[in-house]
Structure 1
Amino acid sequence: MIEAVGLTKRYGDKTAVYNLSFQVRPGSVTGFLGPNGSGKSTTMRMILGLDNPTSGQVTIGGHPYRRLPNAPRQVGALLDAKAVHGGRSARNHLLSLAQLSGIPARRVDEVLGVVGLQDVARKRSKGFSLGMGQRLGIAAALLGDPQVLLFDEPVNGLDPEGILWVRNLMKALAAEGRTVFVSSHLMSEMALTADHLIVIGRGQLLADMSVTDFISANSADFARVRTPDTEPQLREKLGAALTGAGGHVLPEQDGALRVMGLPLPRISDLAHEAGVRLWELSPHQASLEEAYMRMTQGAVDYRSTIDQKAGLQQPLPPGAEPPMPVPGQGQPGWYAPPPPQQGGQPFAMPAGGPGAPTGPYGGAPAGAYGAPGAPAGQGAPGANPYAQSAPQAPQTPAPQAQAPAAPPAPAAAPAATPDASSPASSPAADTNQPEDAR
Structure 2
Amino acid sequence: MIEAVGLTKRYGAKTAVHNLNFRVRPGAVTGFLGPNGSGKSTTMRMILGLDTPTAGRVTIGGRPYRELPNAARQVGALIDAKAVHGGRSAYNHLLSLAQLAGIPRSRVDEVLGVVGLHGVAKQRSRGFSLGMGQRLGIAAALLGDPQVLLFDEPVNGLDPEGILWVRNLMKRLAAEGRTVFVSSHLMSEMALTADHLIVIGRGQLLADMSVQDFIAANSAGFARVRIPDTEPEKREKLTAALVEAGGQVLPEPDGALRVTGLELPRISDVAHDHDVRLWELSPHQASLEEAYMRMTQGAVDYRSTHDARAGFQPPAAPGHGMPGGPGAPVPQGWSGPAGYPVLPGEQPNPYAQQQPAAAPQAQQAPRPPQHLAAPAAPPQPPAGAPAAAPAPTAPSAPSAPADLTKRDTEDAR
How many angstroms apart in 1 are the aligned matches of 2:228 and 2:127?
60
Alpha-carbon displacement from aligned partner over 1:85-113 (angstroms, at most 9, x marks no partner): 11211111111111111111111000000
Q: Secondary structure at the match of 2:299?
A: coil
Partner of 1:257: 257
Once the two structures are TM-superposed, the CA of residue 286 in structure 1 deviates from its matched residue by: 2.5
Partner of 2:51: 51
Once the two structures are TM-superposed, the CA of residue 203 in structure 1 deviates from its matched residue by: 0.6
How many angstroms apart in 1 are the aligned matches of 2:233 and 2:165?
52
Q: Secondary structure at the match of 2:291?
A: helix
Alpha-carbon displacement from aligned partner over 1:367-417 (angstroms, at most 9, x marks no partner): xxxxxxxxxxxxxxxxxxxxxxxxxxxxxxxxxxxxxxxxxxxxxxxxxxx
Partner of 1:225: 225
Where does structure 2 lack aligned partners over 5 or more consecutive residues? Answer: 313-413
Relative to structure 1, the CA distance from residue 17 to residue 232 in structure 2 (aligned partners, 3 Å threshold; closer, same or farther) is closer
Partner of 1:200: 200
After the TM superposition, which residues 6-45 of structure 1 pair with which residues of structure 2 at under 5 Å, given as runs? 6-45=6-45
Q: Which amino acid aligns with 1:102?
A: G
Q: Which amino acid aligns with 1:40?
A: K
How many angstroms apart in 1 are the aligned matches of 2:309 and 2:245?
51
How many angstroms apart in 2 are the aligned matches of 1:180 and 1:263?
40
* Structure label with greater radius of gyration: 1
Once the two structures are TM-superposed, the CA of residue 307 in structure 1 deviates from its matched residue by: 4.1
Q: Compare 232-241 and 29-38 and name the one that shifted more.
A: 232-241
How many angstroms apart in 1 are the aligned matches of 2:27 and 2:102?
27
Once the two structures are TM-superposed, the CA of residue 213 in structure 1 deviates from its matched residue by: 2.0
Partner of 1:138: 138
How many angstroms apart in 2 are the aligned matches of 1:151 and 1:185?
12
Relative to structure 1, the CA distance from residue 277 to residue 29 in structure 2 (aligned partners, 3 Å threshold; closer, same or farther) is same
Once the two structures are TM-superposed, the CA of residue 178 in structure 1 deviates from its matched residue by: 1.1
How many angstroms apart in 2 are the aligned matches of 1:6 and 1:118?
44
Partner of 2:121: 121
Partner of 2:104: 104
Higher RCO, Cα 8 Å, sep 6+? 2
Partner of 1:185: 185
TM-score when normalising by structure 1: 0.66
Where does structure 1 lack aligned partners over 5 or more consecutive residues? Answer: 314-438
Relative to structure 1, the CA distance from residue 228 to residue 80 in structure 2 (aligned partners, 3 Å threshold; closer, same or farther) is closer
After the TM superposition, which residues 267-286 of structure 1 pair with which residues of structure 2 at under 5 Å, given as runs? 267-268=267-268, 270=270, 278-286=278-286
Partner of 1:62: 62
Q: Compare 84-93 and 145-154 and name the one that shifted more.
A: 84-93
Q: Secondary structure at the match of 1:206?
A: strand
Q: Secondary structure at the match of 2:308?
A: coil
How many angstroms apart in 2 are the aligned matches of 1:104 and 1:298?
50
Alpha-carbon displacement from aligned partner over 1:21-79 (angstroms, at most 9, x marks no partner): 11111111111111111111110011111111111111111111122222111110000
Q: Which amino acid aligns with 2:16?
A: A
How many angstroms apart in 2 are the aligned matches of 1:19 and 1:75?
24
How many angstroms apart in 2 are the aligned matches of 1:256 and 1:152?
38
Q: Secondary structure at the match of 2:289?
A: helix
Relative to structure 1, the CA distance from residue 255 to residue 65 in structure 2 (aligned partners, 3 Å threshold; closer, same or farther) is closer
Identity of aligned residues (%): 86
How many angstroms apart in 2 are the aligned matches of 1:58 and 1:255?
49
Q: Which amino acid aligns with 2:15?
A: T
How many angstroms apart in 2 are the aligned matches of 1:134 and 1:254?
38
How many angstroms apart in 2 are the aligned matches of 1:248 and 1:56?
46
Once the two structures are TM-superposed, the CA of residue 149 in structure 1 deviates from its matched residue by: 0.5
Question: How many residue pairs end up in the alignment?
Answer: 311
Alpha-carbon displacement from aligned partner over 1:294-345 (angstroms, at most 9, x marks no partner): 22222122222234379xx9xxxxxxxxxxxxxxxxxxxxxxxxxxxxxxxx
TM-score when normalising by structure 2: 0.69
How many angstroms apart in 1 are the aligned matches of 2:300 and 2:282?
33
Relative to structure 1, the CA distance from residue 230 to residue 107 in structure 2 (aligned partners, 3 Å threshold; closer, same or farther) is same
Q: Which amino acid aligns with 2:209?
A: M
Partner of 2:356: none
How many angstroms apart in 1 are the aligned matches of 2:87 and 2:189?
33
